[in-house]
Amino acid sequence: MEDHLRFSVCFWHTFKATGADPFGVATLQRPWDSASDPIQKAKDTLDAAFEFFQKLGVKFWTFHDRDISPEGATYDESRQNLSDLANYAKAHMDRTGVQLLWGTANLFSHPRYQSGAATNPNPDVFAWAAAQVKNALEITHRLNGAGYTFWGGREGFDTLLNTRMKQERAQLAELLRMAVNHGQKIGFKGNFYIEPKPKEPTTHQYDSDVASCLNFLREFDLLKDFKLNLETNHATLAGHSMLHEMQLARTADALGSLDANTGDELIGWDTDQFPTSIYLTTQMMLEVLDMGGISPGGLNFDAKVRRQSHEPIDLFYAHIGGIDTFARGLKIAYKIQQDGRLAEFVRDRYKGWILPFGEKILTGQRTMEDCEDHVRRHGEPTLASGRQEFLENLINEFL
Mean of per-residue pLDDT scores for the chain: 92
Nearest to 256 by CA among 366, 103, 148: 148
Identify any residues that bridge with 8 across adjacent strands, giving them in sequence order: 60, 300
pLDDT in tens, 118-138: 999 999 999 999 999 999 999
Which CA distances in Å does 371 have to 270, 352, 383? 47, 14, 18
Write out the catalytic residue numbers. 64, 67
Cα distance between residue 275 and residue 277, in whole Å:
6
Burial string for 112-134 (b: 16+ CB within 10 Å, else e) reads ebebbbbbbeeeebbebbbebbb
User: 153: pLDDT confidence band, cut at 50, 70 and 90?
Assistant: confident
Q: Is the pLDDT of residue 1 over 50?
A: no
Question: Is the model's pLDDT at 5 over the cut of 50?
Answer: yes
What does the pLDDT look like over 6-57, one tens digit per residue? 788 887 666 653 332 323 333 444 444 546 899 999 999 999 999 999 999 9
pLDDT band at 199 (very low <50, low <70, confident <90, very high): confident
Q: What is the pLDDT of residues 322-359, one digit of tens each?
A: 999 999 999 999 999 999 999 999 999 999 999 999 99
Are the C-beta atoms of residues 181 and 135 closer than 8 Å to each other?
no
Q: What is the mean pLDDT of residues 164-191?
A: 98
- Residue 14: predicted pLDDT: 66
Kindly report the pTM of this predicted structure. Answer: 0.91
Grade residue 396 by pLDDT with cuts at 50, 70 and 90: very high
pLDDT for res 217: 98
Q: What is the mean pLDDT of residues 203-224?
A: 96
| Position 273 confidence tier, pLDDT thresholds 50, 70, 90 | very high
Q: Does residue 208 register a pLDDT over 90?
A: yes
pLDDT (tens digit per residue) in 243-263: 999 999 999 999 999 999 999
The pLDDT value recorded for residue 346 is 97
Which pLDDT belongs to residue 35?
Answer: 63
CATH class of 7-338: alpha beta
Average of per-residue pLDDT across 275-290: 96
Residue 300: which H helix or E strand, with range? strand 299-301
- Give 22's DSSP letter: G
Which three-class secondary structure state does DSSP give residue 367? Answer: coil
Instruction: pLDDT band for 206, please (50, 70, 90 cuts).
Output: very high
Q: Report the pLDDT value the prediction gives residue 12, as an integer from 0 to 100.
A: 63
Q: How large a percentage of the chain has pLDDT more than 70?
A: 93
Q: Where are the domains of the chain?
A: 7-338, 341-398
Closest CA relative to residue 140, chosen from 188, 77, 88, 80: 188
If one compares 147 and 24, the residue with the highest pLDDT of the two is 147
| Average pLDDT estimate for 214-221 | 98
Mean pLDDT of 164-171: 98
